[in-house]
Amino acid sequence: MSDRFLIGQIAAGRAAPLQTSRSAAKPAEAGQEAGQASFQKLLDKERLRFSLHAEQRLNQRGIAFAPEQLDRIANAVDQAAAKGAQDSLVLYRDIAMIVNVPSRTVVTAMDGQNANQVFTQIDSAVIVR
């Protein structure tokens, strides 16, 4: 065995750039895009979601929404989204809700009995009439 390094011979050769087969990459990307599109359709179908925490708070406080009330709240979230909001305070009657606008998820909710609250980490507020 020789302890010599053949640096000159290695350096003289050129390494070809690594090429990936585009046909192999496209099906994965297309499948991913199709999966994202179908997931997005599922999210769009559900206009408003409630986190487990929000559901618990609503149940504890005896708050329930009729379908037309949920539509009004969802429209308020649409308005917040149109303005680029991320986390919004939505006020509906005597109910205050913190909504994550991109995911359309009500994070927490409280009624008028908890009136002395300070809301932080919100970037917008929508009052629903």
Query: How do the domains of the chain map onto residue ranges?
Result: 47-128
Q: How confident is the model at residue 37 (pLDDT cuts 50, 70, 90)?
A: low
pLDDT one-digit tens code per residue, 58-95 = 999 999 999 999 999 999 999 999 999 999 999 999 99
Render 29-79 in DSSP notation, one character per residue. HHHHHHHHHHHHHHHHHS--EE-HHHHHHHHHTT----HHHHHHHHHHHHH
Mean pLDDT of 100-109: 96
What pLDDT shows up at residue 25? 46
- What rounded mean pLDDT belongs to the chain? 79
Percent of the chain with pLDDT over 90: 56
